[in-house]
Amino acid sequence: MKVVIIGGVAGGASAAARLRRLDETAEIIIFEKSGYISYANCGLPYYIGGVIEDRHALTIQTPESFARRFRIDARVHHEVISINNSQKSVTVRNLVTGESFDEPYDKLIIATGAKPFVPDLCRIGSERIFTMRTVEDTYRLDTFIREKEPKTAVIIGGGFIGLEMAENLTHRGIRVTIVERSTQVLQPFDADIATFIHAKLRQSSVSLKLTRSVTGFRSDSDGIITDIENDSALRSDLVILALGVVPDTSLAGNAGLRLGQRGSIAVDEHMRTSEPDIYAVGDAVEIHHRVTDAQALVSLAGPANKQGRIAADNICGINTAYRGTLGSTIIKLFAMTAAITGISEKTAAALGIAYDKIVLSPLSHASYYPDASVMTMKVLWEKNTHRLLGAQIIGFDAVDKRIDVLAAAIYAGLTADELQNLDLAYAPPYASAKDPVNMAGYIIDNILANRIEQFHCEDVERLPRDGRAILLDTRTPREYAMGHADGFINIPVDDLRVRLYELDPKKPVYVMCQSGLRSYIAVCILNHSGFKAYNFSGGYRFYQTVMQDRQFSEKSFPCGMEN
């Protein structure tokens, strides 16, 4: 059996290695148009930042090491220019010699991945404009920084690559401005959670220009000018395009393979395309989303590697299937970590899913053990079935642990209240006896059992402030004096029982505290005392971050690089 693989990075390299482990006699050829195979795309920004110092660490395998260990013929600088279905061959161009030739196959795997989205307005041929997708892109940028010693950079796009590059350029002493046409960075996250990311970027001296569209670029002798619609132009020493990626599927389309959304390759659960002997894996394909039950594009290394393995299995007669994705992803942003799994609130609303949510602010480990830090968790579930829909977490420690537990719970089909029953490891340096994931389950169980009712950030402005309701802040007087929501009076939770006479039991009471715990206790006291009380989900810390971000968004922030 002869298997040809187009593309030698995550999905392609994974498929090749799995094929060899399953079949020692198969002839396996990889054609990769760049100069590297099996390299760590996700590690490229950290080489720019100096976190990864050895450039060889970025390449997990080389053509030579692949040949020695797996007897796989990996040919770099070879671009497949067409797929010939009827002849079961591919036409390949050697990018070094210019020679073209046909290579037959028994089975073909397309692992062409995705390519950076570069609008026509960005194609001005400037050496100061960069994309970040390949090892060559990374080395070109690193060489530019070493030789030109830039002081300023503009990043177009506030996605994962854009933010990782912002952090790592900042580590190199370069002042960064991010231009993003949306109202927030990191689109998979909800806007309220993104406010924490905005705050961290600003604290780290990264300027944000949200709701701004780039209209073009101009070169001058000392740098490059980015023109922005309805705003001042930005002059910088370099520009990085981080506008997202699009599936690289021209080969598949020209070969007549069935395509899916946004030009991606349509595959079945075995990663087989509309041609029985052609498989496709990685960022180029559309895959099943386990929460929405719809086809989706998810450009992540984890799914690509799994798909490569599954394609190899099926080529070798092992009937395995890709069970879909949750889109679980995580990003380090200076000292902060942001993670998401499943779907967001805005996605649930757009799909018409009847959902509910909680926001909580637990500590990363036991409060009495040193260096515990607060994390903000948002968990969504479907109202009728109680199935988990998604979760988002922002914090500084152990975020990865909690998002992975929640991802496993969603995959396993647990209901939201069943989170309280998970038997999770505990020791003071690592967690609390009531882990944050368990705490989410406890809160949800109270809501489902109607023991407590909530109100949310978006409800605060609509609360009656004409005397028809009581708005109650149960923090200490000192906390209250440092800042509180408009119209809220202060009665500390520990004083509440002896001061109930100050409140009218005929009026609803909306209760807030710093994190949601003291207000929950206050709600219990009030409800047992004849009041109708509601607990604020997330606490004042959450509310304050959202409100401060709103105030920032209403102002104009000079980045120090205006023309």
State pLDDT tens for residues 57-89.
Answer: 888 788 999 999 999 999 999 999 999 999 999
The pLDDT of residue 561? 41
- Strand residues in 401-455 grouped as ranges (E): 454-455
Give the pLDDT band (50/70/90) at residue 382. Answer: very high
State pLDDT tens for residues 248-304.
Answer: 999 999 999 999 988 999 999 999 999 999 999 999 999 999 999 999 999 888 999
Closest to 407 in 3D by CA, of 422, 427, 429, 385 = 422
State pLDDT tens for residues 158-197.
Answer: 999 999 999 999 999 999 999 999 999 999 999 999 999 9
C-alpha pair distances (Å), 361 with each of 32, 144, 336:
46, 43, 15
Give the pLDDT band (50/70/90) at residue 41. Answer: confident
SS3 517: helix
The pLDDT of residue 38? 84
Concerning whether 42 is annotated as a catalytic residue, the answer is yes
Structural contact between residues 30 and 13, judged by C-beta atoms closer than 8 angstroms: yes
Mean predicted confidence (pLDDT) in 506-525: 97
| Burial class, 283, CB count within 10 angstroms (exposed 0-12 / middle 13-18 / buried 19+) | buried
Asked if pLDDT for residue 123 goes beyond 90, the answer is: no
SS3 379: strand
User: Would the CA dihedral through 447, 449, 453, 455 be positive or negative?
Assistant: positive
Long-range contacts of 503-507 (CB under 8 A, 24+ apart): 503/470, 503/472, 503/531, 504/470, 505/529, 505/530, 505/531, 507/468, 507/469, 507/470
Q: Which two tokens stand for residue 510?
A: 């909306």
Give the pLDDT band (50/70/90) at residue 119. Answer: confident
What residues contact 408, with CB distance under 8 A and at least 6 apart? none
Asked if pLDDT for residue 309 goes beyond 50, the answer is: yes
State pLDDT tens for residues 349-369.
Answer: 999 999 999 999 999 999 999
Q: Name the catalytic one among 42, 316, 457, 513.
A: 42
Closest to 195 in 3D by CA, of 58, 336, 93, 298 = 336
Mean pLDDT for the chain overall: 94
Angle between helices 436-448 and 399-412 (to 10 degrees): 50
State pLDDT tens for residues 210-228.
Answer: 999 999 999 888 899 999 9
Q: Which amino acid is at 254?
A: N
The pLDDT of residue 555? 60
